[in-house]
Structure 1
Amino acid sequence: MNFLYPGFLFALLAIAIPIVIHLFNFRKFKKIYFSNVQFLKEAKEQNSSREKLKHLLILMCRILAVAFLVFAFARPFIKSSSTNSPADRSVISIYIDNSYSMETVNKEGSLLDEAKRKAREIVKTYNLNDQFQLLTNDFEGKHQRLVNQDEFIQLLDEIKISPAGRSLAQIINRQQAEYAANTNHIAYLLSDFQKGFAGTEPLRSNPGVSVNFIKLNANNLPNIAVDSVWSLSPVHQPGQAEQIVVRLKNYGEEDAAEIPVKLTIDQQQKAIGNVAVKAGASVLDTLSFSGLKAGWQKGKVGIKDFPLTFDDELNFSFRVNKELKVLSINGDASEKFIRSLFSSDPYFKLTETPESNIRYSTFSEYSLIVLNGLKNPSSGLAQQLKGYVQNGGSVVVFPDLDAGAAVYTPFLTAMALPPVQQLVTGAPISSTIDLKNPVFKDVFDQVPRNMDLPVVNRYFSYGDQNSSLKESILQLPLGRSLFAKYNLGAGQVYLSAASLTIADGNLPRHPVFVPLMYKVAFASVREQPLFYTIGLNNLLESPKIDLLANQSLKLVTDQFEVIPEVRQTPGKTLLYIADQVKKAGFYELRKADSTLAVMAFNDNRTESDMHYASEPELTSLFGKQKVSVYNSKRDALSLNIQAKNSSTELWKLCLILVLVFLVLEILLIRFFNNPKNIQTA
């Protein structure tokens, strides 16, 4: 016989109470004087043995009543005596949710500790020859095999809170895919079943698998999380003012006020703030700072919010470039507009080269290449520029209209750009500006009604091919573009219909020209994401990294490194990290001893939402398929044990025996040896 709750057996010490009562007879005696006691002595001798027997029987009834009452609370059961063959043994898969939300507490302690206790109770109700699988959010290799009861308990004790996040669909699929051929497959899932974990998509379960949800109940806790950050600065320059936008989200049921926000970069405090967040709402806060040096920056936004703290910090990283390199290939050495534009700002490092002396090998060193009035662009240049753009580069083309369509059409088509249809001349034509284009974001504080627009006297009219790739920034009548962007491969080409010659129009002297070209240059800088989310971003992108045959890349943090799978694509290098990154923090991307990038990882914010799926919501996910949902408060583990593992429960029999012995005690007291005893002094 086994007990589901053996701890109650300590209450058997209560058996001592009726024994003590039996040993000390607390009856009060009354003295009665008789002249002759001969007949009383005979009566006493006859009743003495029956009185002792009565007391012993009452004592036994009381002892057995107390004992079986204790047994009833300990929930005894008898395992099946039949010995199953290996083919008939049961496979029990138990999932323990070890996400951050399981750190919350209730009357039983932390939810993770409660889940471990329930899992032990489940295991003990099965036969010794049954096999068990333990599953957590980590999907560790040691959990991908079947173990016996003792090994399962050992693995259970090793479970700790993990930043890894999974969905209910992933858990169901993993539990049922491993041992689908087994006919006696039983699955248990112990979790708080957050709504983000459960999801809303319909789920399907293998009809041959008995699925049991054991819902752990947590106390409702307020929680405010640092949800995300993004930068308002188009590029990061040394010493320049920067702005970071922080989004905080209140997952609680009450408003929160005076939440301190702190921004640190490279462990130096750069800005502080103080915000209020309404219940269930989000709020944005802009933090300004400056004084950055060139190189990779490790930033962190933090708040103080108790008792849940795993989402109080958010890591991010970015690179401050010392300079932005621009190459201008000039058809006319006297051209001055591009030189004046980029030479006025020390952040731009302009290199000029004549059309006749182009060094193709240096293209990869520049973020932006400007073709300024080339008189005879060659097919070789077109092929080199096409490869440069495919690999993520940016090119701006200002044609020389005097060269004509016969020269520029082969050049443009070789770069996968539209051909020149004709050279349009005539009266000056005003263009229109697409102010909603990202290029002009934050350029105009207020748009005047009668805005001065660029005017052109002559221009190239291009064909309509590749229109799906075209994004008009400055537009002419009849749907023709004055300045358009074409996305090609990993890069982009900006094609102008007019030249920078004053005789062709006023574009180079128009006030819109400077912000237009600066924004084009800023957009040529390929920025990596500020941060990645653990469990969601398993594919990382990096600018093209050239590797030798036996060379590899590594993601390195404190006493831990990840070797990602590397795949080369046009213009970028893809890094597959799978589930190797499990801890939030900063990871350096290294090639040999050189650091190529710093990448920030954060925990998934789906764990921040402390709202839980109800039992009807869980069952509705499976439609008409039958799944069992138990609530830990109602002692779900003791329900249907016999149906689960062919065991026989005895607690009802114990309660019946308690009543039987209490009735026997009453009958003994009332009807056994009832005549009065008279005891002499």
Structure 2
Amino acid sequence: MQFKNPEILYFLALLIIPIIVHLFQLQKFVKTPFSNVAFLQKIVQQTRKSSRIKKWLILATRMLLFTAIIFAFSQPYFSNKTANQNQHNFIYLDNSLSTNTKGEKGNLLQIAAQEIIENVSEKDVYSLQTNSNFYDKITKTTLKKVLLETKETSKKVDLPTILLKFGNNTKNKTKALNKTILISDFQNTYKNEFTNVTPSFSAIKLTSSVKNNISIDSVFINNTNATNFTLNVLVKNQGEAQENIPIAIYNNKKLISKLTSSFEKDSQKNIEFKIQNQEEFSGKIVITFSDAFSFDNTFYFTFKNDQKINVLSIGKQADFLSKIYTKNEFNLTQTTVQNINYNSILKQQLIVLNEVENFTEILSKKIIEFSKNGGSVVIIPNQNLNIDSYNSLLQKLNSGKITSKKTDTLKITNINYKHPIFKNVFSKKVTNFQNPTVQNYFSISSKNRSTIISFENNIPFISQITNNKNNLYWIASSLDKKNSNFINSPLIVPVFYNFGKWSFRHPKLFYRIATENKIDIETAIEKDKVLKVANTKNSFIPLQQKFQNKVRITTKEQPLKSGFYSIVKGVDTIQKLAFNYPKEESLLNFMDVSELQKTNKNITISNSIADVFKKINKKNEVHWLWKWFLSLAIVSLLLEILILKFYKP
């Protein structure tokens, strides 16, 4: 039993006063002479004894009366919390795309929101975290309004961040009981996020009743020629085998091709479409099938045939460059130092300085201007280079300087697989690599250098040097066949190919929402102007970096909806992009939440939102007892009246 006003109980000490009064209240009897009192002695004794009993009964009823009144005013109750404590429930409702599916009672997200509304208490305080927003210290009325407006979103919030935010909000709240409730489908993206030090919470798992899902994983194009190209659509089937599933391709709203396909159980299939070449293509792929998730049955992509990267090679003629920078993707120009068209330098995206012996002043100025405007530069040194000339250029580019020339036969052995240049190049680390060699190399010192490939002694062979807008790739030795056989190595293709691809990031076929995307737009804008990304429903201004002949935009937090988006400059549309939802949301892999209790005993698992909230409400329900004590006081008073009226000693 607990008391809302326990300080009232100190008045119980005053009950000693009526006890003292009754003990010391002396009644004086008047003596009356009588001729013969022998026959009255027994009656007098009986009267005095009955009078004493009556006094004790009156004392008991009055003590009970005052005690009951004191207890009533102290407001006693039974509960698992104190009366002046508030119950603060922290709720995470997962409204990711995967929760927008069918459960036993209906749509998982909608049913979860409805059950929360029906079972929360009016007396408690709530903090609600969704993947979209955080609502702190809200009442049931506000909670209901927010839940009814909650829709699925492509945003994702990791559970450690949620628990940390809840934990920070519970600190220094001594007069509040806190309960954390996580409501989610616990998709496999949450794996390994719970440890034995994870704060206690109740986990409620939302379970879909549909166990099949067909999703479009990605698309790519190959076999491009003058008349048509092949569009490859990777489709993933999770669950039982499916037959005769319709797949259609649209260019904007025009139907281009349609077929049906069958899928084996838990398989991935590449479906090819022959499509006639067009200058621009805004493609939409639609699968007609009722499965777990509908959002991944539509896929968007765009491309333009005229997008190529301009590459200028200055210096020695190199056959390997023409084999890598092919005409279908690059505009390669090779020229000597004497025949340079300086006006064309700023129109390039990548410049390869291939074994130039000495940099003239005008060439250095143009290279520096090109680099500062966001262009990428690859430097392949000449064996007989002019060190002063090279160092002058490197220092003006804030890229360090050459320290010395080393003559030593070294193998090129180490590949930095984590470097962005090798992203999606290797499926696994190469162990049987035939190591190319060099006879001599130039050692360079630089602060902002990242190694791409290195020698057996860990000295960088190819490195990237980045300073503000400058992006320079340094190759430590001449690639002349007399000095090195690196041009015969398979490594030269992905390295130089990605030098070109990374120099200007033309829009890809598609981008993923909630992923950082860097896109180069070939345009020039004024200082006080910006590019916008927009479609028919909304628009936003992305993070952007301006260069002389391009603008690099970065998207991550937006957009939130899949579809086509336009890059808008003023009122003009200069580029079209396609965004699709993260493919991880299409997976039917979910955590076994019962395993969580093995690592954390404070975690409770449930499949019912109603049960969890009923237990919380019942556990924290206050059973007031003051009415019973008040009734007892009234009964005591009545007893005293009855004793005084009917008990005659």
TM over 0.5: yes
State yes or no: 1:248 paired with 2:203: no
Contact 2:315 2:337 in 1 (8 A): yes
State yes or no: 1:487 paired with 2:474: no
Contact 2:115 2:610 in 1 (8 A): no
1:642 to 618, 622, 625: 618
Write the distance in 1 (CA, Å) between the matches of 2:507 and 2:218. 15
Contact 2:310 2:348 in 1 (8 A): yes
State yes or no: 1:316 paired with 2:301: yes
State yes or no: 1:552 paired with 2:530: yes
Contact 1:533 1:603 in 2 (8 A): yes
Change (3 A) 1:242 1:471: farther
Write the distance in 2 (CA, Å) between the matches of 1:205 and 1:345. 58
CA drift of 1:644 comes to: 3.4
Write the distance in 2 (CA, Å) between the matches of 1:387 and 1:315. 38
State yes or no: 1:365 paired with 2:347: yes
Write the distance in 2 (CA, Å) between the matches of 1:81 and 1:600. 61
The equivalent of 1:226 in structure 2 is 216
1:91 to 88, 91, 116: 88
Write the distance in 1 (CA, Å) between the matches of 2:498 and 2:203. 55
Contact 1:389 1:488 in 2 (8 A): no
Whichever residue aligns with residue 209 of structure 2, its letter is: N
- TM-score for both structures, normalised by structure 2: 0.62
1:607 to 559, 564, 585: 585
The equivalent of 1:584 in structure 2 is 562
CA drift of 1:587 comes to: 2.0
State yes or no: 1:169 paired with 2:125: no
Write the distance in 1 (CA, Å) between the matches of 2:220 and 2:543. 28
Write the distance in 2 (CA, Å) between the matches of 1:349 and 1:244. 24
Contact 1:328 1:371 in 2 (8 A): yes
Change (3 A) 1:241 1:407: farther
Cα deviation, 1:589-644, whole Å, max 9, x if unaligned, reads 333234454333222333323344344234346x24x2332222994443353213
The equivalent of 1:304 in structure 2 is 288
> Per the alignment, in what secondary structure is the counterpart of residue 463 of structure 1?
strand
The equivalent of 2:186 in structure 1 is 194
The equivalent of 2:38 in structure 1 is none
Write the distance in 1 (CA, Å) between the matches of 2:170 and 2:388. 68
The equivalent of 1:527 in structure 2 is 506
Write the distance in 2 (CA, Å) between the matches of 1:343 and 1:241. 22
Write the distance in 2 (CA, Å) between the matches of 1:117 and 1:405. 76
Cα deviation, 1:203-246, whole Å, max 9, x if unaligned, reads 58886xx733333443242112222334558xxx8947545544
The equivalent of 1:497 in structure 2 is 478
CA drift of 1:478 comes to: 13
Change (3 A) 1:563 1:518: closer
The equivalent of 2:605 in structure 1 is 629
State yes or no: 1:283 paired with 2:254: no
> Per the alignment, in what secondary structure is the counterpart of residue 321 of structure 1?
coil
Change (3 A) 1:229 1:385: same
The equivalent of 1:102 in structure 2 is 99
Contact 1:118 1:637 in 2 (8 A): no
Further displaced range: 411-420 or 580-589: 411-420
Contact 1:405 1:421 in 2 (8 A): no
State yes or no: 1:213 paired with 2:189: no
Change (3 A) 1:573 1:466: farther
CA drift of 1:190 comes to: 6.0
Change (3 A) 1:240 1:211: same
Change (3 A) 1:145 1:392: same
CA drift of 1:544 comes to: 8.5
Change (3 A) 1:518 1:87: same
Aligned pairs for 1:42-81 (under 5 A) are: none
Change (3 A) 1:460 1:259: same
Write the distance in 1 (CA, Å) between the matches of 2:326 and 2:201. 70
Cα deviation, 1:259-307, whole Å, max 9, x if unaligned, reads 4544444445566666554444x42416354544445x43334323313
Contact 2:99 2:185 in 1 (8 A): no
Contact 2:88 2:177 in 1 (8 A): yes
The equivalent of 1:451 in structure 2 is none
CA drift of 1:318 comes to: 3.8
Contact 1:641 1:647 in 2 (8 A): no
CA drift of 1:392 comes to: 5.7
The equivalent of 2:138 in structure 1 is 147
1:616 to 587, 594, 600: 594
Whichever residue aligns with residue 295 of structure 2, its letter is: F
> Per the alignment, in what secondary structure is the counterpart of residue 138 of structure 1?
coil
Write the distance in 1 (CA, Å) between the matches of 2:196 and 2:157. 17
Contact 1:391 1:491 in 2 (8 A): no
Write the distance in 2 (CA, Å) between the matches of 1:638 and 1:340. 72
The equivalent of 1:159 in structure 2 is 150
Cα deviation, 1:92-125, whole Å, max 9, x if unaligned, reads 33333333333333442222232123212322x3
Cα deviation, 1:557-588, whole Å, max 9, x if unaligned, reads 11301123446799996656564422111222
Write the distance in 1 (CA, Å) between the matches of 2:458 and 2:584. 46
Whichever residue aligns with residue 145 of structure 2, its letter is: Q
CA drift of 1:365 comes to: 1.0
Aligned positions, number: 519
Contact 1:168 1:199 in 2 (8 A): no
The equivalent of 1:14 in structure 2 is none
The equivalent of 2:428 in structure 1 is none
Whichever residue aligns with residue 135 of structure 1, its letter is: Q
> Per the alignment, in what secondary structure is the counterpart of residue 166 of structure 1?
coil
Whichever residue aligns with residue 300 of structure 1, its letter is: K
Change (3 A) 1:191 1:340: closer
Whichever residue aligns with residue 89 of structure 2, its letter is: I
Change (3 A) 1:258 1:419: farther
Write the distance in 2 (CA, Å) between the matches of 1:306 and 1:522. 43
Write the distance in 2 (CA, Å) between the matches of 1:469 and 1:321. 33
1:114 to 92, 111, 114: 111
Aligned pairs for 1:212-611 (under 5 A) are: 212-231=202-221, 239=226, 242-252=229-239, 254-268=240-254, 276-280=262-266, 282-285=267-270, 287=272, 289=274, 291-294=276-279, 297-308=281-292, 309-321=294-306, 324-327=309-312, 329=314, 355=337, 362-369=344-351, 371=353, 376-378=358-360, 381-382=363-364, 384-385=366-367, 388=370, 393-395=375-377, 410=391, 421=405, 461-465=440-444, 486-489=463-466, 490=471, 492=473, 497=478, 523=501, 525-534=504-513, 536-538=514-516, 540-542=518-520, 548-566=526-544, 575=553, 579-611=557-589
> Per the alignment, in what secondary structure is the counterpart of residue 532 of structure 2?
strand
Write the distance in 2 (CA, Å) between the matches of 1:342 and 1:222. 44
> Per the alignment, in what secondary structure is the counterpart of residue 109 of structure 2?
helix
Change (3 A) 1:276 1:549: same
Percent sequence identity is: 21
Question: Which 5+ residue runs of structure 1 have no aligned equivalent?
Answer: 1-79, 443-453, 649-681
2:132 to 116, 138, 143: 138
Question: Which 5+ residue runs of structure 2 have no aligned equivalent?
Answer: 1-76, 426-435, 625-649
> Per the alignment, in what secondary structure is the counterpart of residue 144 of structure 1?
strand
Change (3 A) 1:95 1:381: same
> Per the alignment, in what secondary structure is the counterpart of residue 141 of structure 2?
helix
Contact 1:91 1:184 in 2 (8 A): yes
Contact 2:98 2:586 in 1 (8 A): yes
